[in-house]
Amino acid sequence: MAQVQELKAAAREGRGKGPAYQTRLKGQIPGVMYGGDAQPEIVTVDGRTLERHIEKGAFLTTLLMLDVNGKKTRVIPRQLQLDPVSDRPVHVDFMRLAEGATVRLDIPVHFKGQGESPGLKKGGVLNVVRHQMELILSADRIPNEIVVDVSMLDINESIHISALTLPEGAKPTIRERDFTICSIVAPTSVIEEQRAAAAAAAAPAVEVVPAEGAAAAEGAAPGAPGAAPAAGAAGGAKAAPAAPAKK
């Protein structure tokens, strides 16, 4: 389960683009803390400290203890805005989490057992359908990841959400169907061979009918031993007499 990490912040004054811009010039990142029974608070966090938390990965599923001028509040990041050029954070939103709170989060999905999978040993390919899944779960039981074991998976076999063990109380937001997490598919070369074989089997047979006057012996050319003589040839049928010319 995710561990609560501490992040220091400070209350800030002034709203809008101007004060936010001045905050960034000082190396601070503007943010908002909202949720619960209290009013939203505008805060700032140190830019480099925030970047280090982001670099650890799974920032948006990380529980934080936000220390605002000595007052600690358990929060979770809900939105992170990045500069489109520098890819550095420019704004962050935090949501307060009371004891027993429920959240909706995208949890990363990772896979294990690729080395033991019969399908992969045969040359199959792991087709990942879900790199993450959205769950509704307790804020006290947020996992760092969902691990899917594919060690028993063969070609043309799949793993669905019903086969996974989720954290206690967690439910997927998609409930109307047993959606697929991953599958093992045959290599592209094998699929193309199967398609070609199926197309050949479905193609109608073509019957070749010999033309009238063709060689009697199969495969014999005119004039060859065993071949029927061509019309008008020496030793063949006589040519019909020419019709008399009209006067």
Residues of the chain with pLDDT under 50: 214-218, 220-240, 247
pLDDT score recorded for residue 45: 95
Provide the whole-model pTM.
0.66
pLDDT score recorded for residue 211: 56
Handedness of CA 149, 152, 154, 159 (dihedral sign): negative
Query: Is 139 a domain residue?
Result: yes
Q: Which residue has the tokens 């509704």?
A: 136
What is the tens place of the pLDDT at every residue in 102-114?
Answer: 999 999 999 999 9
Q: Structural domain of residue 56, as residue ranges?
A: 5-98
Which amino acid, one-letter code, is at 205? A
Asked whether residue 17 falls in the same domain as residue 75, the answer is yes
CATH of the domain at 192: 2.170.120.20
Query: Is 39 a domain residue?
Result: yes
Query: Is 132 a domain residue?
Result: yes
Rounded CA gap, 160 and 180, in Å? 4
Tokens of 186: 């045959």
pLDDT score recorded for residue 202: 73
Q: Within the chain, what is the greatest distance between any pair of CA atoms?
A: 132
pLDDT score recorded for residue 217: 46
Burial class (CB in 10 A: 0-12, 13-18, 19+), 201: exposed
Query: Is 228 a domain residue?
Result: no
pLDDT score recorded for residue 247: 45
Asked whether residue 20 falls in the same domain as residue 56, the answer is yes
- Specify the number of domains making up the chain: 2
What is the tens place of the pLDDT at every residue in 151-183?
Answer: 999 999 999 999 999 988 899 999 999 999 999
Asked whether residue 47 falls in the same domain as residue 12, the answer is yes
Query: Is 158 a domain residue?
Result: yes
Asked whether residue 126 falls in the same domain as residue 193, the answer is yes
Q: Which residue has the tokens 């561990």?
A: 3
Identify the helix (H) or strand (E) that includes residue 191.
helix 188-202
